[in-house]
Structure 1
Amino acid sequence: MSQSKDQSIADLRIDYSQASLSEADSAADPITQFGKWFDEAIQAEVPEANAMSLATVGPNGRPSSRIVLIKQFDERGFTWFTNFESRKGHELLAHPYGALLFHWVALERQVRIEGRVERVSENESDAYFHSRPLRSRLGAIASAQSQPISSRDLLEAEYVKAEQEFGDHPPRPNHWGGYRLLPDTVEFWQGRRSRLHDRILYTLDADGNWQRQRLQP
């Protein structure tokens, strides 16, 4: 890469100025605060406001991340659905902890969430699976996620095979279902001018109460 290109990348910057976040303005509970910000992201029509980065750690201690879609959040935690036999599924089996990151660029906001991860109940996985579009359900059966395959044609043949076998009523495969991250750390980041950003960190104490503090940017 040329020096001029390096310099042009280094010069890319935005002075954030849309909003602020103070201890007084933030909710006492991070789930409540997340719900407020999530609603504002939806109202602002942020593209794929439900998209989040999920970071996991493999048996070798190396991290990996990917984008997944949140499907539910409440006082229990943050839920998404996937193939249990995927790379992230194997990594969560070895190390049942994860980190989530929401980045709502248009609002100059980030939310970081960390905690233990567990599978949701069979009933929850069944209910969500059967709410999905038919083609998505068939795709979950056809694809051995994260496993090598020799060609796109073979993948599509597996889809046709699932379609022929199950028709309009495919069952949820045992290798597919939901995970829930039970947060013990949640940080809200609001961009501010001069890189003096607002960072409010919530941590769960030994008594199950949320403690709140400001971090320096």
Structure 2
Amino acid sequence: MHASAARLVTTLVALQLCPDVLGGPQHQPFVLNADWRLRLTQVQNFRWEKCGPSSLPAVIKSMSIEPDPIPIPGDVTCSVSAATTMALTPPLQAVVTLEKKLGDIWIKLPCVDDIGSCTYKDICTDLDRLIPPGQACPEPLQSFDIPCHCPFKAGTYNLPTSQFYIPNMDLPSFLTNGNYQLKVELSIGDQDLACYVFYFSLHAESAWFW
């Protein structure tokens, strides 16, 4: 997983399906050049819910993210409590399904450069790439003794109310505004671990105007 992709997923940035816009004096449609970028400016209406059976071993007990909307760039305050009844060890697979709401239906978006509806075969390896083993976990994880590498032992993990700064984020040109749902399913082999759906809206503007 690329570092930019991981940051987008962490901050719940999503894809949009349609790359076309209306332009020109006659409002003729044209396709944005692939080199043109969009800049995320706002994430709002965040909520989450559990999917799958109640017997799954890894659970989110509580999660709070403020403010709503979240300005980008800007500060976000969050708290999370999660627990697992079994150790999370390699290969820890994450199947991510990203959908955008168009009218009354949800449209599944493709996987593009590790962003979108992607399968990450082993997020333990991805974590080792992002944070090399032996390097200290970033704050505030280190202060609250929350690991950032596998294995994650069975137990409860609590992140008290903490503030993060989210910097500017440039997105591929096919990412624009809309309502999204992001489904994340964790598993090790045949063992399902967790299933959650995150709902949110994003607002982005063309970086060409910045």
TM-score by length of 1: 0.25
Of the two, which has the highest radius of gyration?
Answer: 1
In proportion to residue count, which structure has more helix?
Answer: 1
User: RCO higher in 1 or 2 (8 Å CA, sep ≥ 6)?
Assistant: 2
In proportion to residue count, which structure has more strand?
Answer: 2
